[in-house]
Structure 1
Amino acid sequence: MKSARLYAAEHNIEVDQIPLFSLDALSVEYDNGCCAIAIDPNRIESYADENTKIAHELGHCLYGGFYSRLTPLYTREKHEYKANVWAVKFLVPWDELHEAIHNGITEPRELAEYFSVTEAFINLALEYYLERKDYSLD
């Protein structure tokens, strides 16, 4: 199990619990490329939920994908996609997912529990690997 919070700490990326008005979590860049993450503790449903949200924000921090409300929608969608891809590759690496499935862990709920992510996130990972990347489970 990979911990996004631990990864953030090891890479000097502060994660603060702060009530947010309309978001579950956000990341900001400051001082020469440093990054910080805020996550609303009232919107965390489980460890898997927190792990998934922090990993997504780490994706923004580590590839530099920040935008503002004034950024065109197409550009924002590209940044969100890249953050999701980073989070998928970090939390659910293809080789580990492939091995888990071949070891009989096949239901999305079971896979999500195995990787400590949400079921929606495991579905995103499966879509990314099987449909976008065209990887095979054979």
Structure 2
Amino acid sequence: MTNEKLLELAKEKEIDVQEFNSMPLKGLAVRTDDDIHHIAINKSMCKNSIDEKETLAHEIGHCETGSLYCSTESYCIREKCEENAKRWTINTLIPFDRLLSAVKSGYTECWEIADKLDVTCQLVQQAFEYYINICGYAIE
């Protein structure tokens, strides 16, 4: 999925996305009192367009899963919310069928799969862990 498609998805879901380069974070998702979701992306902190895409997907994941928290929440709550957003990101950017197809096509190195799927190697590693250890899928 491209950055443009993610922005279209956010618009369809009525999530307001704005560039906000003066915050000390790459991304931030909030829900206002009127129940509208807003995402701020700090492009200046993103290493490249892939990092920007993964950051945007992660923040949309917070909105779509309702996994929002404030900084005063307990560590357990914050980690649960982050895990939900990460899983949404994996399911959206690296659906299992695309990951399996890449492996069956002969891509075996993390960097090869990441390059093919236009994501980071870190997200590919997280996807393998998620699909195998959490979902119980087999990659043969």
TM-score normalised by structure 2 residue count: 0.89
Give the corresponding residue for 1:65. 67
Q: Which runs of 5+ in 1 are unaligned?
A: none
Give the corresponding residue for 2:84. 82
1:5-20 correspondence to structure 2 within 5 Å: 5-20=7-22
Larger RCO, structures 1/2 (Cα 8 Å, 6+ apart): 1
Aligned with residue 28 of structure 2, among 1, 4, 26: 26
Offset, 1:2: 4.2
Give the corresponding residue for 1:52. 54
Q: Which runs of 5+ in 2 are unaligned?
A: none
Q: Across the two proteins, how many residue pairs are aligned to each other?
A: 138
> Take 1:125 and 1:81, find their aligned partners in 2: how far apart are those partners?
12
What is the SS of the residue equivalent to 1:74?
Answer: helix
> Take 2:66 and 2:45, find their aligned partners in 1: how far apart are those partners?
25
Offset, 1:121: 1.1
> Take 2:119 and 2:17, find their aligned partners in 1: how far apart are those partners?
18
- Alignment RMSD, CA only? 1.6
Offset, 1:20: 4.2
> Take 2:11 and 2:109, find their aligned partners in 1: how far apart are those partners?
32
Offset, 1:137: 1.0
Give the corresponding residue for 1:37. 39
What is the SS of the residue equivalent to 2:57?
Answer: helix
